[in-house]
């Protein structure tokens, strides 16, 4: 077996063992709670002396409470409750929250975009969903030469230096893997198709007999773009957005990715964040170190205030790309990353990982047939925001260098013009784009 096949086999064995243990433990817990409650009732009916009752009763109550608390924690996890009052144990309330949440996220009917008919049966819902996402994830024909020309037309396009390139593809170490898993060990993140959450992966990474295999798998992913098949076997959960829920455009797709695959992209994400400042213009403030997305909101608020006070003629334009992550083309992203100087081996690895997946859509607890994913930056992956920043950068740089776009020119504001602020911002040109 290859290293990737061995790794998938190890995970499969761990999953089966864990499932068997969980079933046995669940049965034991139910029997133990009933046995302890019978023992407690019999103890109270025997009317023991006060001293004996005060000694033994708290012990039995503590044992029962500990087992019942496990049931409450499981119910809270299903209900999606991340914050509770200390000692809150209303299992009935948590169960109702879970039921309401399930109903709100259920898809009762959909409009078939081909026929225009509304369908409601399980089979029809799954067929419509599969067809919709197969079309969405299929690449549109593009001309590689046009992409090259588009990128080359950017004046003074920055590139990573040799030190940055070497750092990005330096061998992944055990310490890096354990460090990233330790950061997310307490997150209640849904696992992927292998069912193994961050807690399990953190323990597995520290198991000495597997360390050589783990290092080999992760470094082959980095250098050769070769992955365990489980890394490219995705489950997609749909969450409702605003608008007409009979159309799948108003459902947000969240990819449930295996946690060991997300640890890999977290490592790449950490490395890339350290070099992104050299290639991403200062107007992109999201997901980057030492930049804050609220700065754009503050600048926009100042622009609106000054434009209102001075009765300026400029207009504000809001751009919102439909299904933005889903429409990132693999060839375009590859050419842009290479133009910025990213190592070809890293670009090849990310291209294979993001655009060669088998996806199954979860429709009310049932999975569709396989959908081949040939484009899409999957929502739920730690690296997707940075890759989208890179994909968007050429568009923003074309705007910034185009003489027809002058932006908003700040002017001095005297106290007689406004009473809202005495601050006079220095002149600058700003382009505000929201996505």
Please answer whether residues 400 and 368 qualify as being in contact, where contact means their C-beta atoms are separated by less than 8 angstroms: no
What percentage of the chain reaches a pLDDT higher than 70? 88
**C-alpha to C-alpha distance for 101 and 391, rounded to whole angstroms:** 35
Q: Please tell me the predicted confidence (pLDDT) of residue 190.
A: 82
Contacts for 363 with CB less than 8 Å, ≥ 6 apart = 107, 122, 125, 126, 129, 238
Distance CA 419, CA 425 (A): 15
247 backbone dihedrals φ, ψ, rounded to 5°: -115, 135
- Picking from 35-44, 354-363, 415-424, which range would have the lowest pLDDT averaged per residue? 415-424
* Model confidence pLDDT, tens digit, residues 362-400: 999 899 999 999 998 988 899 999 999 999 999 999 999
Give yes or no for residue 291 having a pLDDT over 50. Answer: yes
Q: Please name the residues in contact with 333: beta carbons below 8 A apart, sequence gap of 6 or more.
A: 351, 387, 390, 391
Rounded average pLDDT over 203-224? 97
* Cβ–Cβ < 8 Å for 138, 327: no
Angstrom CA distances, 114 to 240, 247, 322, stand at 22, 12, 19
Residue 258 vs residue 429, higher pLDDT: 258
Whole-angstrom distance, CA of residue 248 vs CA of residue 371:
15
Which stretch of 80-94, 115-129, 166-180 has the lowest confidence by average pLDDT? 80-94
Ranking 79-83, 119-123, 248-252 by mean pLDDT, the lowest is: 79-83
Q: What is the total residue count of the chain?
A: 435
Q: Which two tokens stand for residue 230?
A: 């489980």
- Tokens read off for 352: 């294979």
Residue 136 C-alpha from the chain's centroid: 19
> What φ, ψ does residue 32 adopt, rounded to 5°?
-65, -40
% of the chain beyond a pLDDT of 90: 64
Rounded to whole angstroms, what are the CA distances from 378 to 147, 192, 309, 367? Answer: 23, 13, 43, 18
Q: How far apart are CA 205 and CA 377, in angstroms?
A: 27
Whether 220 has a pLDDT exceeding 90, the answer reads yes
29: buried, middle or exposed (CB in 10 Å: 19+, 13-18, 0-12)? middle
* pLDDT digits 0-9 by tens, 67-105: 988 887 777 776 665 555 545 555 565 556 655 666 567
d(CA 74, CA 25): 14
Q: Which token pair is 15?
A: 């999953």
In this prediction, residues 111-125 reach a mean pLDDT of 92
How many H helices and E strands in the chain? Answer: 14, 9
pLDDT tens digit string along 327-366?
899 999 999 999 999 999 999 999 999 999 999 999 998 9
Quick one: tokens of 332? 């375009």
DSSP letter string, 185-196: TT--PPP-TT--
What end-to-end distance do the CA atoms of the chain give, in Å?
Answer: 45
> pTM of the full predicted structure?
0.83
Average pLDDT, the chain: 87
Give 190 or 249, the one with higher predicted confidence.
249
């Amino acid at each position: 077996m290859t290293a990737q096949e061995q790794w998938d086999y190890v995970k499969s064995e761990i999953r089966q063992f864990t499932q068997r243990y969980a079933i046995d433990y669940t049965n034991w817990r139910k029997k133990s709670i009933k046995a302890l409650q019978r023992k407690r009732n019999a103890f109270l009916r025997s009317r023991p002396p006060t001293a004996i009752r005060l000694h033994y009763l708290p012990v039995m109550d503590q044992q029962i409470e500990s087992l019942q608390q496990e049931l409450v924690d499981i119910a809270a996890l299903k209900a999606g409750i991340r914050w509770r009052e200390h000692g809150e144990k209303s299992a009935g309330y948590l169960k109702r929250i879970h039921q309401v949440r399930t109903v709100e996220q259920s898809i009762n009917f959909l409009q078939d975009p081909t026929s225009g008919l509304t369908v409601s049966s399980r089979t029809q819902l799954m067929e419509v969903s599969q067809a919709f996402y197969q079309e969405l994830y299929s690449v549109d024909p593009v001309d590689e030469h046009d992409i090259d020309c588009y990128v080359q037309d950017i004046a003074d396009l920055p590139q990573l230096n040799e030190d940055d390139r070497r750092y990005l593809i330096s061998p992944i170490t055990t310490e890096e893997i354990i460090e990233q898993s330790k950061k997310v060990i307490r997150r209640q993140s849904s696992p992927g198709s292998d069912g193994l959450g961050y807690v399990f992966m953190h323990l597995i990474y520290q198991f000495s007999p597997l360390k050589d295999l783990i290092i080999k798998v992760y470094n082959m992913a980095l250098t050769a773009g070769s992955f365990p098949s489980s890394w490219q076997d995705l489950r997609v959960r749909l969450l409702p957005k605003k608008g007409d829920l009979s159309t799948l455009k108003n459902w947000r797709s969240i990819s449930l990715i295996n946690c060991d695959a997300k640890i890999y992209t977290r490592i790449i994400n950490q490395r890339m964040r350290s070099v992104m400042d050299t290639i991403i213009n200062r107007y992109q403030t999201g997901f980057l170190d030492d930049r804050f997305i609220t700065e754009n909101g503050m600048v926009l608020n100042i622009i609106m205030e000054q434009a209102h006070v001075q009765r300026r003629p400029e207009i504000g334009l809001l751009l919102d790309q439909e299904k933005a992550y889903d429409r990132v083309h693999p060839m375009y992203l590859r050419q842009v990353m290479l133009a910025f100087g990213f190592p070809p081996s890293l670009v090849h690895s990310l291209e294979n990982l993001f655009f060669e997946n088998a996806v199954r859509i979860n429709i009310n607890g049932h999975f569709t047939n396989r959908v081949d994913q040939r484009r899409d930056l999957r929502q739920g992956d730690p690296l997707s925001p940075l890759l989208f920043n890179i994909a968007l950068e050429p568009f923003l740089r074309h705007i910034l260098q185009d003489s027809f776009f002058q932006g908003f020119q700040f002017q001095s504001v005297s106290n007689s013009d406004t009473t809202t602020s005495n601050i006079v911002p220095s002149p600058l040109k700003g382009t505000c784009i929201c996505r």
